[in-house]
Structure 1
């Protein structure tokens, strides 16, 4: 297969504007004329925040930060909070001052947060009252004065609201700089943490230009602001309402929710934390039309009994990202939201963000497929020996895209390993069909080798989730002298099955055998669950929804070690 070149970008993308200047101050041909719909909607209260209020609060916060804290060019502001309606203005204000934003996972321990503070050399921390104690502990350890920890919402610390009011009640104390031509491609906007293609989490340096490009790539691919179909069938329209449930500190939620949704003229319902039944209430209460989710959330949509208690008829679009979504789950989802366009996308922090998306010509994306590449991308699939793979042949995806990150912050070695001569080496094994549809097999480092054959955990998980007794699952490898590795499935049972098992111990073996038979009936022999099935109360996941496979891999090895010891 030769390299794949997608259609070029069909419009000029400014490289002399910051993200805030592009999204709050300028117009672009791909940008629809907004209705009077709000930019942001606070989930719990229903508070509606429009464009003028957004601009005013952004200025107020920028001016307040300059007056009280002297935030300036290249200073790093770290946001340690769940989603909040002032989270986007905090980002935009920091960028007005020429600063850099680093979002942190609000469930971090003080030690984990300290690592990020030190890695990015943060000078100010914006926390949420729920995470304030951790933020203060980490700030103390990093020798950051406690008055430089401020909060969304009321607390004993200085608040974002008080800083905004300070800024609004004073003349401008800063002069916003215009970038030189081309500077948008090099000036760092975000330091977003990623596991990288290998190893420990690293700070990915993302320039202002990259998310601007990615939003335009998505807009061109999905024909935003084009009259390409009847109004009711167009994918993204002004006045549509999107769920902002993905964490803003994560690249998927950051670029799509904070930037693409308002650019498309839509409203964003800001949801601080994902609780499934509360999420269903939010969909019904706000008549949410657009969902951007991850597979574990989709498993709940397909499996949770509470779904039947809520009106989900407003949903007309759902896209899944962050991990492969099985064909089996797509088929189940179509029954839950039959009127919606459903499909997948794929991207990385290092590509800030989307690389593929399902086409607007398809109501339902190709089951198991991640869509096709966005405009302006060059892609190749590389075999282990470095040669180019053919169509329908697996290999590592490598891409060139104008939305590429600058590299890993202060980590030259990792940057050179992942960003090679303009190519991003993704570390993901994919297959590209002749029709250019992309299928993400799995992370290369997570692929199992069973009797010399490659087995993708995500493929088996999709199959297992199609079993009637299964609510959730994660497949991990266990070592085996004969086969090298064997697949073992950790399974969360649905309530009805769990009830049967708790009442009759004989049901344990029956249900396990049924799950193993289900896989055996649907998969080739080397993909069978020869490592067994283990029941578990909950599958551990990170806040972006990715399975914490390593946690269960360690647990599986401990289980097998105990079993072996018991036999001796």
Structure 2
């Protein structure tokens, strides 16, 4: 399964100062004109071409070649805070030293060689990053496992990847204690809170002092851009998860693509690259897991390159998020749109100082256009941003921010300059602007394939193009509009109904905090529309009132025939995507 991934960048968000621009006024340069200016020879975003698995592909000329390069660059940020977790503060220099020490330990003690797999199963602790970068610069393929998985699912990920070493927190290590001996995996435990499983050893190194950062050095392992670097497992909301096999080029492309996507909106609004790259504090509140491409590619790796601070949370909590925004002077936060809604509509919002925020970015699920109005209401002068990407595209493929977002809040933006997109019909023929079909993506961010799954790889990756499985349309200017997942599209009496459209209308209702639209089987019509609603605290809403509200916004055949109201949160995977399969199992006989 391909999950849309959240974008939570920490590059300066473009501001909009001209009222005519804010209103989407004319006179702005086009997307193609901005792209030509930004990618011209000698510019920061100049492009080149590379042969990637036999396909000529545009690449960023100035992108770091490997994760080793990014770690080396991060060292220059010295004593600035890189990772903040409760009472622990890990500087860039200490992080570099800890990662270097762990890389040498993997090679010297555990015999890890280039291409061996090193798995990570833990919460968002600072040790996650140390293990990730340390394993990568040792030449290993890093396998981030879903920390929410059961013991059986974790066992599957370890066995499927053939991991040689596992770095786990105490909770995950205890969960796996009964199966580790049979897997033959060396287990290192972070933050142990009791006896270790048989054969396991403490990870050590963080949060304690790893030694003299000035004396740290990385092992001498030759790494090339197209060497395998990561296996990120897709969310597995249906069937067994697939391991998305990414290269160093895939992951190091993302920070540059993200910067391009954000800055292009600022350039279009009349600002210069120099203005947009001026030094400023960058502090990201991380609300999603490191074990997804958003948390790792778009936040961790990007912050390492840019010198940004990442503030970690034990788990998502709205009040705690507001506390951290005030205490750490957070400049950016995001997650799935629901997280942004929860913060902005919290009754505690006014009790905290959020003046440090320069932007709010989100993705991973369709965002109601009304969300931009809420951001402008609560955070004046801040322009929201969203983006689109998948595990298979190493996070970002498109970005929509600044004037682009204000003009087209329903879009996820145009593709970044090194990516091509197209929409095709069932026969594979490319469709024209406005027509809905499957979105295909090509670029240096597209992964190598699925680990040990040649048929699935052959089906999804064809001549450099990745078949996303998402339904989309393009407008005349190349902006992408994600309509829905193909499997979530309803067909009622022969009429296509896209869940995202109905959900967006529901979010406009002032009493709706969260919602999900599902198909309900019907003997005559095939399917009817069903909607599950979570109301805001203290709000009361009736089914008839909701239907009347929707009837003014969407066609009658799209209005839900079935409505469920629930007090508990909707079930979600760690990336924030609603588990509609589980909802159907709970609600439908």
**Equivalence for 1:507:** none
Secondary structure in 1 matching 2:294: helix
Secondary structure in 1 matching 2:418: coil
1:19 paired to 2:58: no
Structure 1 residue 90, shift from structure 2 partner: 1.1
1:84 paired to 2:125: yes
Maintained 8 Å contact 2:254/2:298: no
**Equivalence for 1:354:** 396
Structure 1 residue 480, shift from structure 2 partner: 0.9
Provide closer, same or farther for how the CA distance between residues 409 and 144 of structure 1 changes in structure 2, counting only shifts above 3 A. same
1:9-49 deviation line (CA, Å, top 9, x unaligned)? 5156579976332202259xxxxx9777725231312x443
Maintained 8 Å contact 1:516/1:533: no
Provide closer, same or farther for how the CA distance between residues 296 and 37 of structure 1 changes in structure 2, counting only shifts above 3 A. farther
**Equivalence for 1:517:** 548
1:556 paired to 2:587: yes
**Partner residue of 1:58 out of 86, 91, 99:** 99
Distance 1:461 1:363 in 2: 19
**Equivalence for 2:29:** none
Distance 2:340 2:204 in 1: 36
Provide closer, same or farther for how the CA distance between residues 395 and 242 of structure 1 changes in structure 2, counting only shifts above 3 A. same
Distance 2:258 2:312 in 1: 21
Distance 2:278 2:89 in 1: 20
Matches within 5 A, 1:419-434: 419-434=461-476
Structure 1 residue 484, shift from structure 2 partner: 1.3
Matches within 5 A, 1:358-507: 358-362=400-404, 364=406, 366-497=408-539
Secondary structure in 2 matching 1:116: helix
Provide closer, same or farther for how the CA distance between residues 364 and 293 of structure 1 changes in structure 2, counting only shifts above 3 A. farther
Distance 1:374 1:107 in 2: 32
Maintained 8 Å contact 1:465/1:472: yes
Maintained 8 Å contact 2:484/2:500: yes
**Equivalence for 2:220:** 176
**Equivalence for 1:218:** 258
**Equivalence for 1:149:** 188
**Equivalence for 2:180:** 139
Provide closer, same or farther for how the CA distance between residues 392 and 398 of structure 1 changes in structure 2, counting only shifts above 3 A. same
Provide closer, same or farther for how the CA distance between residues 93 and 556 of structure 1 changes in structure 2, counting only shifts above 3 A. same
**Structure 2: stretches of 5+ with no match in the other structure:** 1-31, 40-44, 49-59
Maintained 8 Å contact 2:114/2:140: yes
Distance 1:236 1:437 in 2: 28
Secondary structure in 2 matching 1:496: coil
Structure 1 residue 491, shift from structure 2 partner: 1.2
Distance 1:308 1:15 in 2: 43
Distance 2:572 2:236 in 1: 17
**Equivalence for 1:161:** 204
Maintained 8 Å contact 2:83/2:311: yes
Structure-2-length-normalised TM-score = 0.82
**Equivalence for 2:13:** none
Maintained 8 Å contact 1:207/1:405: yes
Provide closer, same or farther for how the CA distance between residues 390 and 231 of structure 1 changes in structure 2, counting only shifts above 3 A. closer
**Equivalence for 1:105:** 146
**Equivalence for 2:54:** none
Distance 1:458 1:373 in 2: 21
1:328 paired to 2:364: no
Distance 1:421 1:551 in 2: 35
1:57-105 deviation line (CA, Å, top 9, x unaligned)? 1111112233332222222111111111121121111112111111111
Distance 1:423 1:364 in 2: 30
Maintained 8 Å contact 2:383/2:401: no
Structure 1 residue 445, shift from structure 2 partner: 1.2
Distance 2:157 2:407 in 1: 38
Maintained 8 Å contact 1:447/1:455: yes
Maintained 8 Å contact 2:85/2:125: no
**Equivalence for 1:565:** none
**Partner residue of 2:563 out of 494, 518, 532:** 532
**Equivalence for 2:164:** 123
Maintained 8 Å contact 1:235/1:317: no
Distance 1:463 1:53 in 2: 48
Provide closer, same or farther for how the CA distance between residues 152 and 74 of structure 1 changes in structure 2, counting only shifts above 3 A. farther
Maintained 8 Å contact 2:188/2:203: no
Distance 2:332 2:217 in 1: 40
Maintained 8 Å contact 2:233/2:243: yes
Distance 1:340 1:164 in 2: 35
Distance 1:465 1:360 in 2: 22
By relative contact order (CA 8 Å, sep 6+), the higher-ranking structure is: 2
**Partner residue of 1:203 out of 236, 243, 266:** 243
Structure-1-length-normalised TM-score = 0.85
Maintained 8 Å contact 1:328/1:463: no
Provide closer, same or farther for how the CA distance between residues 219 and 184 of structure 1 changes in structure 2, counting only shifts above 3 A. same
**Structure 1: stretches of 5+ with no match in the other structure:** 28-32, 499-509, 559-568
Structure 1 residue 313, shift from structure 2 partner: 2.0
Structure 1 residue 143, shift from structure 2 partner: 4.2
Maintained 8 Å contact 2:84/2:311: yes
Of the structure 1 ranges 263-272 and 351-360, higher mean CA displacement relative to structure 2 is found in 263-272
**Equivalence for 1:562:** none
Provide closer, same or farther for how the CA distance between residues 165 and 335 of structure 1 changes in structure 2, counting only shifts above 3 A. closer
Distance 2:328 2:274 in 1: 19
**Partner residue of 2:356 out of 279, 303, 314:** 314
Provide closer, same or farther for how the CA distance between residues 330 and 451 of structure 1 changes in structure 2, counting only shifts above 3 A. farther
Of the structure 1 ranges 234-243 and 276-285, higher mean CA displacement relative to structure 2 is found in 234-243
Structure 1 residue 361, shift from structure 2 partner: 4.5
Distance 2:63 2:356 in 1: 39
Maintained 8 Å contact 2:404/2:413: no
Distance 2:371 2:528 in 1: 24
Provide closer, same or farther for how the CA distance between residues 478 and 141 of structure 1 changes in structure 2, counting only shifts above 3 A. farther
